[in-house]
Structure 1
Amino acid sequence: MGTRLGHRQVLLRPLPLGRETQDRMTVPAYGLVCLTTGPEIRFRTITLTRYRALNPDQRYGTLLELYADNVARVRRAADYCAARGIRLYRLSSSLFPMLDLDGDDTGAQVLTHLAPQLRDAGHAFQDHGIRVLMHPEQFIVLNSDRPEVRESSLRAITTHAQVMDALNLERSTWNLLLLHGGKGGRAQELQAIIPDLPDAVRLRLGLENDERAYSPRDLLPVCEATGTPLILDAHHHVVHDRLPDQEDPSVREWVLAARRTWTPPEWQVVHLSNGLDGPQDRRHSWLIDQVPSAYHDVPWIEVEAKGKEEALVALGACAPTLST
């Protein structure tokens, strides 16, 4: 599987990489997160209130039309990324609303009906050599102290993994399924849960540090004990530890510590964002003003900027005007 990574060492064009920029660097695959600011990659949804107002026959037909349209849009997203040289794409976790409703399997029936189209969409990414990840919403808290939250969280994350299976994405961290640490102060509970997760979840699972509850230091023992890769977010680390900026030496230390949790290390993914109004601002800026020099040899970088594809263009990471 590693042969398809395709990253190589070359001289990097000048970019805002911080004060201690290296002369020779890995050219990373910068990742697009879910949507575009323009109309090119957008997905449809339905509210729970509207869905529940429909009778059972209407529910199936409504979800069939919506899901089929979103699958087609996923397929077009693969072509969009390929045309612009984007080799990393985060799949939206909201493609199939109502899929994880407790006691209602309408969405699951529709997804089964669309199995051929889903496989085709997944194959499109594979054929283009595009790595696909998913990062579900933060309401998934596997280590909650409330049993009903743990139950709904497990149902939701399992549903996301089933979607990845339907797209024929690998059950490995090549096709990462990423979560935060969840409920603060419950790292041991999280560590105990991971080995018992369904294979479709566990084999893809990665954990990311956040700006409030879990620092890299908190998550590293969990990752090491369970064989789960750590995804470093330098912006979150700076906010959590109240550091001056992303050039703090500890960022490089955590890049390397996180890399040791990846098998193979060439699959390492990090997150890149800047604060809207300075390093301590949790809000993401529109574009990326600074890439930390600690990321100089990281092969896969998800860009979490409000400007989406505009941020990738500004980084020189994708072509701005190619047609799909």
Structure 2
Amino acid sequence: MTIVRLGYVAMSMNLQNSSPSQTMTVAQFQKIKDREAAISKLERIAISNLENCLRLLKYNAAHDIHFFRLSSRLIPLAGHEEVSDWKFMRPLKHILEEIGEFTKEHSMRVGFHPDHFVVFTTEQKEIIKQSIKNLMIHEALLRGMNIDREHRCVIHVGGAYNDKDRALEQFIENWGNIPVPIQKMIMLENDDTTFTLLDTLYLCEKLSVPIVFDYHHHLAHHEVPDWESEWERVVGTWSHSRLPLKMHISSPRNEKEFRAHADYIDDSMFMRFLSNVKGSVDEMDCMIEAKQKDNALFKLVEDLKKYPEIEFIDASSFKIH
């Protein structure tokens, strides 16, 4: 028996005017002649994003959803050289603390998935520097929320630069230059074009980093289709984490666009996965990556109710026997 919690990504399809990813471009910022006014506008957008984030968390609590990916675009232009003097954490302190308190009160697991430009397979020092800077912003936000930062950021391995084996070794070489607090935040995910489950496991085992197994990515890109024989290794990477194993679930849009995410989750595909892993771990958190966000979660819950081996605990969590 395994307890499974379902989660979704960043935005609700039902909660109106609740985007946590409102932004301002550099060009828009530069058009405001008064720099103080421009910074004030950035702060208003950031506060609005965080207030909407809290609204989303309250919505999730009302629907018994305990697992949620925070938007990585909460703070517009954070880290950009144009606003390098902007101390954005100060005006956000109160709302960040409120978000953190709410997640603790409702036993929610939250984390981030920074964009693909966080790369550690490169030899270019400026890219590495910017990648670390990006992760430090995520670390600061989690610290502002008083959330334990360990294993809260999923990243992809990066680019292969026409030599995948060399890129893997470059990642290991660059790892030593990443500050330890940032190292502790990181989880690695297998991708759908370059670094397979086996590639990512190689790094995770070398560096003692948990792997976030993406089932759809594996189906789209693998050396051998048999992921089941590697599942014990996947579980092993989580042996030193205080959090349950985390994985991603999505479904292909269609055969032609196999890598693209569908609107909803194919329940039969998900059940094939679950039937292979049930009992291997006590708990598992499954992040739904689907175009219909929370609606995809609600539909999957309804679809799973037809399976006799599924026993629901609440509106988004269940036991599989």
Q: Is 1:36–1:309's contact at 8 Å kept on the other side of the alignment?
A: yes
- 1:316 maps to 2:301: yes
Q: 1:112 corresponds to which residue? A: 90
Identity %: 23
Q: CA deviation at 1:238?
A: 1.1
Rate the CA distance shift 1:47–1:103 in 2: closer, same or farther, 3 A.
closer
Q: 1:34 corresponds to which residue? A: 10
- Greater mean deviation of Cα atoms: 164-173 or 311-320: 311-320
Rate the CA distance shift 1:197–1:147 in 2: closer, same or farther, 3 A.
closer
Q: 1:284 corresponds to which residue? A: 261
Of residues 16, 41, 56, the one that matches 1:62 is 41
In the aligned structure 2, how far is the partner of 1:315 from the partner of 1:27? 16
Matched residue type, 2:209: T
Q: CA deviation at 1:105?
A: 3.0
Q: CA deviation at 1:266?
A: 6.0
Q: CA deviation at 1:274?
A: 0.6
- 1:305 maps to 2:290: yes
Q: 1:261 corresponds to which residue? A: 237
Q: Deviation string for 1:9-41 (max 9, x for gaps)?
A: xxxxxxxxxxxxxxxx42311111111123444
Gaps of 5+ in 1: 1-24
Matched residue type, 1:189: Q
- 1:196 maps to 2:177: yes
Matched residue type, 1:314: K
Q: 1:73 corresponds to which residue? A: 52
2:53 aligns to what SS in structure 1?
Answer: helix
In the aligned structure 1, how far is the partner of 2:83 from the partner of 2:108? 33
Rate the CA distance shift 1:202–1:86 in 2: closer, same or farther, 3 A.
same
Q: 1:83 corresponds to which residue? A: 62
Rate the CA distance shift 1:264–1:152 in 2: closer, same or farther, 3 A.
closer
In the aligned structure 1, how far is the partner of 2:106 from the partner of 2:146? 14
Q: Superposition RMSD on alpha carbons, in Å?
A: 2.2
Q: CA deviation at 1:99?
A: 0.8
- Greater mean deviation of Cα atoms: 38-47 or 25-34: 38-47
Q: Deviation string for 1:161-188 (max 9, x for gaps)?
A: 2112111110212xx2110000212111
- 1:97 maps to 2:76: yes
Rate the CA distance shift 1:34–1:134 in 2: closer, same or farther, 3 A.
same
Matched residue type, 1:168: N
Correspondence 1:145-184 to 2 at 5 A: 145-173=123-151, 176-184=152-160
1:196 aligns to what SS in structure 2?
Answer: coil
Q: Is 2:26–2:82's contact at 8 Å kept on the other side of the alignment?
A: no
Q: Is 2:190–2:212's contact at 8 Å kept on the other side of the alignment?
A: yes
Of residues 218, 233, 237, the one that matches 2:218 is 237
Q: 2:308 corresponds to which residue? A: none
Q: Is 1:162–1:200's contact at 8 Å kept on the other side of the alignment?
A: no
Matched residue type, 1:28: V
1:96 aligns to what SS in structure 2?
Answer: coil
1:206 aligns to what SS in structure 2?
Answer: strand
Of residues 269, 272, 290, the one that matches 2:249 is 272
Of residues 4, 19, 28, the one that matches 1:50 is 28
Of residues 108, 111, 126, the one that matches 1:130 is 108
In the aligned structure 2, how far is the partner of 1:239 from the partner of 1:303? 17
In the aligned structure 2, how far is the partner of 1:279 from the partner of 1:157? 35
1:228 aligns to what SS in structure 2?
Answer: coil
**How many residues were matched structurally?**
288
Rate the CA distance shift 1:78–1:278 in 2: closer, same or farther, 3 A.
same
Matched residue type, 2:184: L
2:258 aligns to what SS in structure 1?
Answer: coil
Q: CA deviation at 1:312?
A: 0.6
In the aligned structure 1, how far is the partner of 2:249 from the partner of 2:111? 15
In the aligned structure 2, how far is the partner of 1:220 from the partner of 1:237? 12
Of residues 218, 227, 233, the one that matches 1:251 is 227
Q: 1:22 corresponds to which residue? A: none
In the aligned structure 2, how far is the partner of 1:279 from the partner of 1:129? 40
Correspondence 1:215-234 to 2 at 5 A: 215-234=196-215
Of residues 193, 214, 225, the one that matches 1:212 is 193
Matched residue type, 1:61: S
